[in-house]
Amino acid sequence: MTDDRLLTITANCTGCGACAELQPDYIGWDEEESRPLLLTDVAPDAVVYELQAFCPEDCFDYE
Ligand code: SF4
């Protein structure tokens, strides 16, 4: 069972691109800024956990 959670990206982001490659249905990419873009305000628990696990800067948070 999954619960939707609010995603945020903190200012620690270094633009590595891992999140957008990992979850392209939830995370887009701003080519000009070289930064990720949230495509949704919510995502399943499993998606949030995966993003948190792979982001090297601990950028992903949820409520
Ligand atoms: S994985 Fe983390 S540091 Fe890398 S682009 Fe995404 S939010 Fe930024």
Say what the pLDDT of residue 29 is: 97
pLDDT > 90? residue 4: no
Q: Which residues line ligand 1 (CB under 6 A)?
A: 9, 13-19, 36, 55-57, 59
Cα 52 to averaged position of ligand 1 atoms, centre (Å)? 9
Task: Give one word for 34, left, alpha or beta, with left for phi > 0 and alpha for psi -120 to 50.
Answer: left
Q: Given this structure, which CATH class describes domain 4-61?
A: alpha beta
Residues in the chain: 63
pLDDT digits (tens, 9 = 90+) for 19-59: 999 999 999 999 999 999 999 988 998 999 999 999 999 99
- Strands, E, within the chain: which ranges? 4-6, 8-9, 27-30, 35-38, 42-44, 60-61
Q: Look up the pTM and report it.
A: 0.87
**Could you state, in order of their start, the residue ranges of all structural domains in the chain?**
4-61
